[in-house]
Structure 1
Amino acid sequence: MTLILDVSVMTNKIQELTQNGNDNHHSQKTYDHQKIVMIENIIDTTALIIDVIWNKFFISLNSQVIPLRLFIQETIRRSRTSWSTLQTALFYLLRIKPKIATLEVEITDNKSDPATCGRRMFLASLIIASKYLQDRNYANSAWSKICGLHVKEINAIERRFLILIDYNLFIKDNIFNNWTNFLRSRICTFSGLKQKGLFSKDEDQRAIAQFVECQV
């Protein structure tokens, strides 16, 4: 698994749970497996959040696009996104959800509003969160190489996202802590239910939607 994502805060808890008297080698193997599973579930949760927010905007089956999950995985891997940056980016997506819900699919001069594309808005959110949290960042020309979009389009989706979010990038500590706890809970629940074959996408969508309505 080559995905670059700092999940030590979450996986340390898993490591504690797996170190229950077994030998160190077995515990490390269990921890490594759990870490891979956790990363997979982070990607799944990210895809689910995008599905929840952009569920009324469909990509044509004839479109030459990679699956959403693979897009997320490759974007995170190539950009070496940290866990804290991803958490912030996902929160920003929830913050613009009410405005996305009011958008209609309109095409003018053969160009659609980038705000109706969950992939582009996820990318924009990731770029903005990275710039907001870190002193050293990729230039948009580097993001262009990461995702394959022209620099002009990177600039355009970044501006569009900032307008949608009203340039409101600050997150209060208590709100972010609630979001972090909620996200960890959903990811761990995601993992447990999938292992038991009981995962319900509809139930998880409702849980995320309820958090948006109550907390953001």
Structure 2
Amino acid sequence: MSDIEALLQFNRKPVSQEMITYLARSTESIIQVRETHSMIDVAIPAPKLELFIKKLVKYSNVQTPTLMATTVFLTKLRSIIPANVYGIETTRHRIFLGCLILSAKTLNDSSPLNKHWAQYTDGLLHLKEVNTIERELLEYFDWNLTLSTNDLIQSLAPFLKPIKDQIIRSRQQELLLFNAPTPSQLKSYMNSPQSRSSSYNSIPSLTSSNTISTINSSRSRSSLNYSANIQTIPEGESDVVSQRKTSLSNLDPNKYANTSVSEKRKSSRPIILKTGLDKPMVAGQTKIKRSNWTNFF
């Protein structure tokens, strides 16, 4: 599909010097020429082939599709004419003019007549010569003047390749622009919970070595402060502990042997639930300070 699009774009281009040069080189590759010294060549010297083609384009006002379709006939003629054949000085001019006439008459409903083409040669060729050239080319082609799309694509490949590359690049750019998110889509994506969670997960501060070392150092400092504020109590200096030991040793086991089940249940309640116990206080004990630990989460 890109070949056909490139061909359509190429047909819309105006005739350029590059096209004229390409046609001249294609015509020169068909047949070799030997110099002659006839009186006709001395009287009317043949112009350069590029200049001759440029004048034909100017006088006939031929457009790119008709002009460049000539390459198909030139390619076919190259495979027909033997390589050991030589022509005169105006042979290449005659070949190109004949192929241009066939292209114009094949592709257009109305084209210049042969007498007009003879005038476009600036006296280089007469009407009879133009008619003879047309008939000879028709015999070479066996009257088959079909111009297929594949023939045009193959003959114009050097011109179509840059256009095809440009079409491919433009399509890739259009695809990128089509898939690119709009500003509103970007804004909604940035505000979505999924994007925020992914951004939070991407923060490496909690897992970095610097952060872990900072947490460990703060933990060590807080543990040192906590241990510095704790005062040990010797077991011999505690009056409360000695009083509890004495009271436990003076208990009579027979006193509680005949108690009822309800009284046992009442007495079996854990003492830790009793709220009226006095808390032991040690003289000189200071209150434990709040640690310097800070919640990083």
- C-alpha separation in 2, matches of 1:159 and 1:71: 21
Deviations 1:108-131 (A, max 9, x none): xxxx7x9x8111010000011100
Q: Which runs of 5+ in 2 are unaligned?
A: 1-7, 164-297
Deviations 1:170-196 (A, max 9, x none): 02223323333x0415899xxxxxxxx
Are 1:78 and 1:146, in contact at CA under 8 Å, matched by a contact in 2? yes
> Aligned pair count?
150
1:166 to 121, 131, 142: 142
- C-alpha separation in 1, matches of 2:62 and 2:139: 23
Cα deviation for residue 11 of structure 1 reads: 9.3
Q: Tell which structure's C-alpha radius of gyration is larger.
A: 2
2:33 to 44, 54, 57: 57
- C-alpha separation in 1, matches of 2:107 and 2:91: 24
Deviations 1:56-94 (A, max 9, x none): 223459751211111111111111111111121121011
- C-alpha separation in 1, matches of 2:161 and 2:74: 16
Are 2:34 and 2:86, in contact at CA under 8 Å, matched by a contact in 1? no
Q: Which one-letter code corresponds to 1:53 in the other structure?
A: I
Q: Does 1:83 align with 2:57?
A: no
Compared with structure 1, are the counterparts of its residues 67 and 127 closer, same or farther at alpha carbon in structure 2 (3 Å cutoff)?
same
SS of match in other structure, 1:53: coil
- C-alpha separation in 1, matches of 2:159 and 2:135: 30
Which residue does the alignment assign to 1:43?
A: 20
Cα deviation for residue 99 of structure 1 reads: 2.0
Q: What TM-score, normalized to structure 1?
A: 0.59
- C-alpha separation in 1, matches of 2:109 and 2:132: 22
Which residue does the alignment assign to 1:3?
A: none
Q: Does 1:70 align with 2:70?
A: no
- C-alpha separation in 2, matches of 1:53 and 1:186: 24
- Which of the pair has the greater relative contact order for Cα pairs under 8 Å at 6+ separation? 1
1:99 to 77, 80, 84: 80
Which residue does the alignment assign to 1:177?
A: 153
Cα deviation for residue 103 of structure 1 reads: 5.7
RMSD, aligned CA: 3.2
Q: What TM-score, normalized to structure 2?
A: 0.44
Q: Does 1:127 align with 2:108?
A: no
Which residue does the alignment assign to 1:145?
A: 119
Report % sequence identity.
Answer: 26
Q: Which has the higher helix share?
A: 1
Q: Which one-letter code corresponds to 2:24 in the other structure?
A: A
- C-alpha separation in 2, matches of 1:11 and 1:89: 13
